[in-house]
Structure 1
Amino acid sequence: MSELELNVSRTIAAPLEKVFNAWLEPETLAKFMRPCDGEGMDATVQNDPVKGGRFSIVMKLEDKEVPHAGTYLEVKPYSRLAFTWESPFSQDDSVVTIDFTEIGMRSTLVALKQVKFSSEESRDGHIKGWTRMFDQLTLVLA
């Protein structure tokens, strides 16, 4: 079997700089890096958004906490982020790469790729998760 990966993209109606910075600001990350929206849903974020810096995201769903962490591999302002993705549902050497492309002056294409999953089920679960995150990011930046 070839290495499992996923690709999720979304055009967001917000300027490039605002969309890029949303992925680096702990307060904003906490608003969209959560399993879903509603009562009892929350996230706690800490990060050092420089190459080699670490981040920690604890997604909270009612009384359950799901920790995520990683190391920034690349922080190229307004064009690319790459980081390791450590979670209970992915392999330790999983990597997420996010490319940002300006579309006009008011929209941004965000293309996310993640590699290395232990199973197709795990990959498919991450596709659903990243899709929800994009939905919430769109709402946060509206």
Structure 2
Amino acid sequence: MTDQATELTLEVSRLIPAVREKLFDAWLDPAMLAQFMMPAPNMSVPEATSDARAGGRFLIVMRVGDKDMPHAGTYKTIDRANQIVFTWESPMSPVENSIVTLDFKDAEGGTDVRLTHVRFPSEESRANHEGGWTRILATLAETLGS
């Protein structure tokens, strides 16, 4: 583990025209996760599970063509309609203690969703995840935006 990995952070945010509770719940609902957790075009999510409680685990299997990429983690914080914090275990970012924090704030026209992801193995990995998370938030907005 390099010191660089501990320093690399990304933040993306999006105003989504939906209420906080609806957006918050989408991140904990396996059926909803399967609809928006697609960081690249031509992806699908054939499997998603969520034990939505602090200490609970989730699994999201992202599929491109015939290749499955399992992503998993443990929920650290679930503060209804305000914040979700979870570990991120990804074959694309094999770093221990990679943490994602989602903050939900009321805003004019909907909810501001801010995603902060810390610890990446390289600048390239961070850049790839920034693009992926940006696309995921855009797909969430398309899926749930009113």
TM-score for both structures, normalised by structure 1: 0.93
Tell me how far apart the structure 1 counterparts of residues 91 and 67 of structure 2 sit (CA, whole Å): 13
Q: Is 1:133 aligned to residue 116 of structure 2?
A: no
Q: Is 1:89 aligned to residue 92 of structure 2?
A: yes
CA contact (8 A) 2:39 2:133 kept: no
The residue aligned with 2:66 is 63
CA contact (8 A) 1:35 1:132 kept: yes
Give the alignment of 1:17-56 within 5 angstroms: 17-38=21-42, 41-43=43-45, 44-56=47-59
CA offsets 1:1-55 (integer angstroms, 9 cap, x no match): 46100000000001111111111111011100013354xx311210101000000
Unaligned ranges ≥5, structure 1: none
Tell me how far apart the structure 2 counterparts of residues 87 and 122 of structure 1 sit (CA, whole Å): 11
RMSD: 1.3
CA offsets 1:32-82 (integer angstroms, 9 cap, x no match): 0013354xx311210101000000000011111111000000000000000
Unaligned ranges ≥5, structure 2: none
CA shift, 1:86, in A, is 0.2
**How many residue pairs align between the two structures?**
139
Q: In structure 2, which of residues 121, 124, 129 is the aligned counterpart of residue 121 of structure 1?
A: 124
Dislocated runs of 4+, deviation >2 Å: 35-38
